[in-house]
């Protein structure tokens, strides 16, 4: 589970911003929305939502966490010496534009608490640190800066010690990623969390996860569960079928690099499967309004954008809940009805339906969710930009005098919590001005 994520000097975040899933002392909705971790004395939230005006930093916050995940996963295997690190500092300040960006995450994985972070410029890792807490005391596993790398004598010995002594760690590669690649047991466990437990996607585009949902339709049990979700969402879909194309039929039309990548990602001995479309089945009725069979539609060409998005979302949604993952979604509410989004949130905020303690972190403009029956005050977050273009992140629980049964939505839209646009006079572009009359 995610405990805390901190980012500094990345995109619109100039100063440090901390996104915490630690529950406050408040006991509202304790039974469902909070997970107790008594061995570490923690209470963790099952979900968190971020509100803010357009361009306030909501998406940049998600992008920062996903950058950290992707860089941990790929820095040792997909980059070469001299490759630029795809990090972007806050560029609206002459002070920060050349300073390193900083990322740190604290998480719980298989009964062990980890704290890991790094600072980086586009050319090098400036600092990197890794600690863990198997019981009560936090132990330093390694610390890296421009002066060198300090390793734990027993837990990071052997080949990792040899690589560090021989200065064979690339300046643009993370030591955690390298150590995991060389099967250091503790590094492998931490890497597993980034690779298997931290799942992020864009609610604006299904390109990165539609293939996964299509593949799940080919599994009878998963297909039935996906259909159940579609029916409960009032989409009146009886069945779904996935259309596939033989790889050899289309391979000639694909770029050589993509052909090779598809082959590499396919298990040896199996032909690559290319998914072309999904067919949805809906009831057809006769003149007496009696069911007369089913009609097939193309999900891409015939169904609504919301239906298409929710279908593609069902695969990752079930996967996350089944495996206790952290689900980070940019613009979850895009193209989905507010009531449907509320039901998705309710799945995570449920001890019964979410027994593996998956977490949902997302941003939205859907103020209908600002309801004390859905979220505690510490689950509601805001982003706001100052006059210098820098984003800040804060929680509703940071405010004093906010009642547990308060009208969060009303107060938010009225600007009591900030994080709303300061709108000007939209009639101005349509109104003649003195300069126009003087021409």
pLDDT (mean) for 45-49? 97
Weakest mean pLDDT among 99-103, 105-109, 184-188, 243-247: 243-247
Q: Whole-model pTM?
A: 0.90
Are the beta carbons of 170 and 157 closer than 8 angstroms?
Answer: no
Confidence tier at 304 by pLDDT (50, 70, 90): very high
Q: Does the pLDDT of residue 391 top 90, yes or no?
A: yes
What is the average pLDDT value for the chain, to the nearest integer?
A: 90
Give, rounded to a whole angstrom, the gap between the first and last alpha carbons of the chain.
Answer: 65
pLDDT (mean) for 85-106? 96
Give the C-alpha separation, 69 to 63, whole Å: 10
Instruction: Give pLDDT tens digits for 192-228.
Output: 999 999 999 887 777 778 888 999 999 999 999 999 9
Q: Residues near 209 by Cβ (< 8 Å), separated by ≥ 6?
A: 201, 312, 313, 315, 316
Q: What is the pLDDT of residue 198?
A: 96
Instruction: Give pLDDT tens digits for 125-146.
Output: 999 999 999 988 999 999 999 8
Report the greatest alpha carbon distance in the chain.
Answer: 82
**Cα separations in angstroms, 264 against 83, 257, 259, 267:** 23, 11, 9, 8
Q: What is the pLDDT of residue 251?
A: 56
Element (H, E) at 309: helix 305-323
In the block, tokens 């990345």 appear at 10
Nearest residue to 24 (alpha-carbon basis) of 4, 44, 40: 44
pLDDT (mean) for 166-192? 93
User: What is the DSSP track for 23-67?
Assistant: PPS--TTHHHHEEEEGGGTEEEESEEEEEE-TTSSHHHHHHHHHH
Nearest residue to 295 (alpha-carbon basis) of 238, 222, 216, 357: 238
* Rounded (5°) CA angle 15-376-356: 95
pLDDT (mean) for 68-88? 90
What are the extents of the domains in the chain?
1-204+331-439, 205-323
Give the C-alpha separation, 286 to 239, whole Å: 20
Q: Does the pLDDT of residue 268 top 70, yes or no?
A: no
pLDDT (mean) for 255-267? 57
Give the C-alpha separation, 393 to 277, whole Å: 40
pLDDT (mean) for 295-319? 94
Q: Does the pLDDT of residue 351 top 90, yes or no?
A: yes
């Amino acid at each position: 589970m995610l405990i805390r994520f901190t980012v500094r000097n990345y995109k619109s975040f100039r100063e440090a911003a901390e996104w915490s899933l630690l529950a406050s002392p408040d006991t509202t909705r304790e039974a469902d929305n909070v997970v107790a971790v008594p061995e570490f004395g923690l209470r963790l939230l099952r979900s968190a939502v971020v509100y803010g005006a357009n361009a306030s930093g909501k998406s940049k916050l998600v992008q920062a966490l996903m950058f950290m995940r992707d860089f941990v996963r790929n820095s040792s295997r997909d980059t070469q010496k001299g490759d630029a690190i795809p990090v972007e500092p806050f560029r609206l300040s002459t002070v920060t534009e050349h300073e390193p960006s900083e990322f740190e995450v604290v998480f719980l994985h298989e009964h062990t608490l980890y704290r890991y972070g790094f600072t980086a410029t586009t050319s090098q890792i400036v600092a990197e640190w890794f600690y863990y807490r198997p019981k009560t005391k936090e132990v330093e596993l390694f610390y890296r800066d421009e002066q060198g790398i300090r390793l734990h004598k027993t837990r990071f010995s052997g080949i990792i010690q040899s690589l560090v002594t021989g200065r064979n760690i690339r300046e643009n590669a993370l030591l955690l990623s390298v150590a995991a690649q060389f099967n250091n047991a503790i590094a492998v466990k931490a890497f597993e969390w980034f690779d298997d437990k931290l799942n992020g996607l864009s609610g604006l585009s299904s390109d990165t996860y539609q293939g996964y949902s299509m593949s799940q339709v080919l599994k009878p049990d998963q297909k039935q569960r996906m259909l159940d979700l579609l029916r409960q969402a009032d989409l009146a879909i009886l069945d779904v079928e996935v259309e596939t194309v033989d790889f050899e039929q289309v391979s000639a039309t694909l770029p050589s690099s993509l052909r090779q990548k598809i082959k590499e990602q396919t298990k040896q001995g199996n032909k690559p499967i290319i998914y072309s479309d999904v067919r949805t089945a809906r009831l057809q009725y006769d003149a007496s309004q009696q069911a007369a069979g089913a009609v097939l539609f193309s999900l891409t060409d015939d169904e609504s954008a919301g239906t298409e998005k929710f279908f593609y979302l069902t695969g990752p949604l079930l996967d996350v809940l089944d495996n206790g993952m952290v689900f980070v979604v940019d613009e979850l509410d895009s193209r989905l009805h507010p009531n449907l989004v509320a039901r998705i949130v309710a799945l995570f905020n449920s001890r019964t339906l979410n027994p593996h303690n998956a977490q949902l972190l997302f941003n939205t403009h859907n103020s209908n969710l600002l309801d004390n029956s859905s979220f505690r005050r510490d689950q509601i977050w805001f982003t706001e930009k100052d006059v210098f273009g820098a984003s800040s992140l804060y929680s509703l629980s940071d405010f004093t005098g906010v009642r547990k049964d308060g009208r969060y939505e009303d107060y938010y839209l009225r600007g009591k919590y900030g994080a709303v646009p300061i709108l000007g006079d939209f009639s101005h572009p349509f109104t003649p001005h003195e300069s126009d009359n003087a021409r």
